Structures are given as structure tokens and as C-alpha cells.
Amino acid sequence: MLLHNRVDKRELKKRLMEEPIKRVTLSFYRYVIIDTPNEYRDELYKRWESLNVKGRIYVAREGINAQLSVPEEHFETFRKDIYNDKYLTNVPFKVAVEDDGKSFYKLLLKVRRKIVADGLNDDAFDVTNVGKHLSAKEFNEALEQEGTVVVDMRNHYESEVGRFENAICPDVDTFREELEWVTENLKDKKDKKVLLYCTGGIRCEKASAYFKHEGFKDVNQLHGGIIDYARQIKQEGLESKFKGKNFVFDERLGEKITHDVISVCHQCGEPCDEHTNCANDDCHLLFIQCEKCKEKMKNCCTPECISITELPIEEQRKLRKGRIKNDSLSVYKSRLRPDLKKLFTTKTT
């Protein structure tokens, strides 16, 4: 049995769009020592492939981080499979807020050194000494307290389309940069009540322990992240202090928490919160693009990328050999308004 996919992604996406079954998109993580991550990875692939599970899962000695979609008809079998796993018993699921079942088109399991790239030396501090976990209600109440500092632990392209009221949103591209930024720029806030939040909670789990090690006295984190916050406010009839869209790392690229649109199209400046990956396979720049610009620019970020996508596939492949990716990006950035230039720094694959 092959333990990885070999089908072209275009064909896989076509199959997904034509798939008649319903799927449930969810995520979970757990910090737990996995003795043989490579063997465990292969075991999970066999089990989940048999259930037609799709998703992106990272396994490391320190634990597992999973975002995936499960056929509705196999969901209970999958749940039992998870809870019978010695590493994952009773692990909390975060179920997607908006879900069309088209979030992932293949099953990808990778073994990594860490389940979240943070650049930290875990031996230098107590990773289990995490901040206080707050429910949605508790988080809302803490936001109202005078002097509270709320920090978005996500990257700039995530917070751009949705964030908590009065949150500090560092202009960074990676979690590692975020940790450094907060430590340096908020060092005068170490005696304040600090609230951390992220997509599903995993980044805050590590960040809260690190910030406590760095001397922050009152560190708190949103339990279950934005995803579970959305579930709780709906279930309990609470006001959403989070405005806009929650960015997600799958084909959907986002799910609305409220109908507020707090960002703009990077090409025309009109209100918009729809992320696009540039259609040029040698670029795939992640940026915000409205429907009018999407049609006009053919899902591309620059005229140069449009011209490349219109070439025959074989010609595009020839161009990629030895070609520096995103070489048209510097040209396009020079045409942007200064306040939008910084937004064009992130590329997805």
C-alpha cells in the first residue's frame, strides 16, 4: 500500500468538487511524547486512508497537529479510532464554523521536528507551565477590564481579515517572528493582564508558556481558539467580540465569524475579505482580491503572472526550471500604495 498520494492535484481537486458525499471539517492538536513518530505517521495514514479522510497532519516527537475532513458517513468510526488511540484519547475536536466539505483534496501526513515551527529551545523553559485557559464568556469579560492587553498570535494576513476588538496585531509573517515581536515590544506590559488568541489554540499553548518564562505575570489564552469561541458564543447567545473572518489553512481560506468586512481588496481598495492564491503555479502569492479584480486579473496578482498562465503548460514548466519564484512580485509591489506594500509578502504552496 502506498503511504502517500501520487495523483496530480488538479485531478484530486476535480474529484473533490464532484464528490457527492458530505464531509465534516475539523482540527485538533495534542502535545504528547510520541516515541516513534515515523512509524506512527504510517499507522495513521493506513487507518485514515481507509476512511477516505483528507487533510494536513503534522506528527513530531512532541505531538500531533491535525486539520482534516472526514466523510460524514464515517465520522463516528473516525471518532472511535481517535479515542482508541493511546496518544489521542478524548482529544478535543474543533469543528469548522463554515463548511462546504471542500476544505482538503488529499491526505497529507508529514513528520516534522515540531508540530508548530516556533524556533524555541523547549529545554530552556517549562513548556507545561501554560497560561490560564479562558472560555468565550471569560475572554469577553477580560476584554472589558481596564488595562488588559490582547494579542493576536497569528500572522498579519490572518488578522487582516478578522480580529478581536482593540487587539494588538503584529506585522509578522511567521509564529517565530511573532514570539520575538511580543517579547521585545510588549516588555513594558509584563505586569498587565495579557490575553492571547489564535485559530485553534495550539500557538497560544506554546506562546503562553514562553511568555511566562520571559516574565509576563498574568498570561491568559482563549481556550480552543477562534474556532471554539465561535461555537461557544453561538451556543450561549454571547456577543462576538471577534469581528470579521477567521483565516484557515485549507482550500476555504476563511470562515465568517461575523459579517463585518474589515479589510480591502489589495488591487482596487474596495471592501473585501476574500483571499486568493495567484493562479500562476510559479507564484501562488496569497492576497485579498475582490470578484471584479478576480475576473479582470484572471485570479492573478500581476499582469506578468496572467501572461504566464496563458502559456501552454509545457512552456510554463520550462520557465520554472531555474527561474526565481515571484520575480514579478517586486515589479508589482512598486506600483502599490505604500500602505498595501507590506501585505504582499506571503506565499502559500
* Cα angle value 128/169/346 (rounded, 5°): 95
* Long-range contacts (CB closer than 8 Å, 24 or more residues apart) made by 143-150: 143/195, 143/241, 145/193, 147/192, 147/193, 148/192, 148/193, 148/194, 148/195, 149/186, 149/189, 149/192, 149/193, 149/194, 149/195, 150/194, 150/195, 150/196, 150/197
**Does residue 272 carry a catalytic annotation?**
no
- For residue 253, give Cα distances in angstroms to 33, 102, 234, 245, 286: 31, 11, 22, 10, 10
Distance CA 175, CA 263 (A): 22
Which amino acids are annotated catalytic?
Answer: 198
